[in-house]
Amino acid sequence: MQNQFDIAVVGATGLVGGALVELLGDAPLPLGQVVLLATEESAGKRLSVGGRHIAVRPLAGFDFSEVQIAFFAVPEAVAAEFAPQAAEAGTTVIDCSGAFVADHEVPLIVPEVNPEMLADYRERGIIASPSPGAIQLALALKPLLDVAGLQHINVTLCEPVSASGREGVDELARQTARLMNGQGVEPGLYGRQIAFNTLPLVGDLLTSGASRAELCLVLETLRLLGDPALRINASAMRLPVFFGTALTVQLETVHPLDVGEAASLLAQVPALMQAEEARGYASAIPDAIGDDHVWVSRLRRDLSREHGLNLSLVTDNLRKGAALNCVQIAQLLIKDHLG
């Protein structure tokens, strides 16, 4: 009989945590005990995992030696405090908070891109899952890099408010309702009105002039592709939409690659779904939200560069952009290292 693994979801009542709880009920994982952890305020809530109704327990004071794998879907500060404690207790941590993406002792994994790097998890007992933008970008760039090489990549990241958690969703909903009823709004989480607006800044502004989100997208992608010499320029914007992370990408290959060849390479990646030509493009609604693919569309020549290509990407930031990637890491971990 296959070994079963006791698993904890830290941040089970958050947006990504909720997506993890939902996916665990259907994922082909050998689940034993499932522990749901959150703040004291959320303790006692009952959530369903594959037909099992499980009460949420408080994170503070939990003994992580009770479980073999722990998913962390919490703010960075919480992960930075509790993930090392879990690892010290012998639990393998899979974290999507962003707290460890710059730590080269912690492998940063997208199973379809760099599964061989997973073996390095034993160094710290922590595995990092990248941001939704980096997952999409690496999935699309990897086959092109392997065949034609890449010289330069320009990418614009468009983030939804759900990337800020439930607080971002609530703020957009509240401001939209007030404005639709002729009432004014006060800036809150983002420092500016987000409803019916676009903000050209995501994350803290660094002394270089780049934002933290832009720097993280570049660093994560370089780590995932394993080529620190790649030149990637990123810009990030916050859009007044609830869900769906989108990217527009302009790239230049080293060797010639026409649109048809690029489409054939991308079609070989199961996680990528190309929009039918008749439809013209993919969007968060109705394509990406609730779906487990990264959608590719608007693949075309860049007329300003000899070896240039342009494309658009979009995915459900809570599913493939976070929860599903964590579950796939766990599947690979169990198959190759724990099974």
Using a pLDDT cut of 70, give the percent of the chain over it. 99
Give yes or no for residue 218 having a pLDDT over 60. Answer: yes
Are residues 145 and 281 located together in one domain of the fold? yes
- Average pLDDT (128-144) is 98
Structure tokens at 62: 């939990």
Are residues 202 and 225 located together in one domain of the fold? yes
- Predicted confidence at residue 27, as pLDDT, reads 83
The continuous run of DSSP H or E covering 16 comes out as helix 15-24
Other Cβ atoms less than 10 A from the Cβ of 167: the count is 13
Are residues 146 and 226 located together in one domain of the fold? yes
CATH number for the domain that contains residue 303 = 3.30.360.10
Q: What is the torsional sign of CA 144, 146, 147, 149?
A: positive
- Give the burial string for 79-114 (b: 16+ CB within 10 Å, else e): bbebbbebbebebbbbbbbbbbbeeeebbbbbbbbb
Domain tally for the chain? 2
CATH number for the domain that contains residue 88 = 3.40.50.720
Of 42-56, 148-162, 319-333, where does mean pLDDT reach its minimum? 42-56
Read off the pLDDT of residues 188-215 as tens digits, 9 standing for 90 and up: 999 999 999 999 999 999 999 999 999 9
pLDDT band at 2 (very low <50, low <70, confident <90, very high): low
- Predicted confidence at residue 110, as pLDDT, reads 98
Cα separation of 93 and 117, whole Å? 15
Are residues 79 and 169 located together in one domain of the fold? no
Are residues 309 and 333 located together in one domain of the fold? no
Domain that holds residue 280: 133-317
Are residues 84 and 45 located together in one domain of the fold? yes
Structure tokens at 279: 């439809």
Give yes or no for residue 316 having a pLDDT over 70. Answer: yes
Are residues 96 and 162 located together in one domain of the fold? no
Other Cβ atoms less than 10 A from the Cβ of 184: the count is 8
Helix (H, G, I), strand (E, B) or coil at 169: helix
Are residues 233 and 205 located together in one domain of the fold? yes
pLDDT band at 22 (very low <50, low <70, confident <90, very high): very high
Are residues 99 and 71 located together in one domain of the fold? yes
The rounded radius of gyration (Å) of the Cα atoms in the chain is 20
Are residues 215 and 255 located together in one domain of the fold? yes
- Average pLDDT (316-332) is 97
Are residues 71 and 169 located together in one domain of the fold? no
pLDDT band at 339 (very low <50, low <70, confident <90, very high): low
Query: pTM higher than 0.85 for the full model?
Result: yes
Are residues 236 and 164 located together in one domain of the fold? yes
